[in-house]
Structure 1
Amino acid sequence: MEIIRGKEFVAERAWGAKDIACMNGITTRLHWTDQPYKWHTNDGEEVFVVLDGSVEMFYKKNGAEKSTLLNVGDIFYASVGTEHVAHPVGVARVLVVESEGSV
C-alpha cells in the first residue's frame, strides 16, 4: 500500500517519473516536467491525465497539426498511431497509463 501526493512529486529532470504500478503489461507513472517532450507515436494506447498545472497537447489529425490546452482534471487519450507531443505551461504533473516500455 502506498499513498502518493501527486502535487508534491518533483523529479530530478524534465519528464522524470515515479512508477506507480505495472498491471498485466500496462504501466501507470507519475511524471513531473517543466519542458516539452518530443513528438512521438506510441505503439499502444495512452491515457494522459493532468494532475497539476496545464499542458498544451499538440497532435496530428489527418496530417494537420492541432493543439488543445489541458488543465487539471483533463484527459488526453491517444489511440494507436496518434502522433503527439506535450508542452507544459510552466510546471506540470501528469499521470500516464500506457503499455510497458512505450516511448
Structure 2
Amino acid sequence: MEAQHIDEAACRTFRLAAELAGKKWNAAILLAMARGADRFSSIAVAIDGISDRLLTARLRELELHDLISREVVPTVPVQVLYRLTPAGSDLIRILHPLVQWSQRWDQTPAEATAPA
C-alpha cells in the first residue's frame, strides 16, 4: 500500500476545530442552543453542572470563533440573546452523528458508571 501525503495545513485546521468543539462544555452549549436555548439562563439550565463564570467564558470563546452571535436587546431589563451562526449550525450538523455514535457505542469508562 502506498503511503498517502498528509496535508499539514489541513491537519492543523482540523486539530484546532476538533479542540474547539471538544473543549469541555462547548458541544453541550451548542447542542442546547440548537434545541432552542437562546438566553444565558436557558442555556445554563439546559447544561447540568456548568458554572455561570465558565458558561460566560465559553460563550465568549464561541462568539470569538463565530460559532454563535450575541445580540443585546434594549429592553428593561436588557436582554441578551445568543444564536447559532451559519458556522455553528454547520458544526451542529457534524456533531449529531458523533452524538449518535457515542450513544451507540457508549464510550463512558466502566469505572465511571460503577456504583460506589
Which structure's CA Rg is the greater one? Answer: 2
More RCO (CA 8 Å, sep 6+): 1
Q: Would you say same fold, with TM above 0.5?
A: no
Please identify which structure carries the higher helix content.
2
Please identify which structure carries the higher strand content.
1
Provide TM-score, normalisation by structure 1: 0.32
Provide TM-score, normalisation by structure 2: 0.30
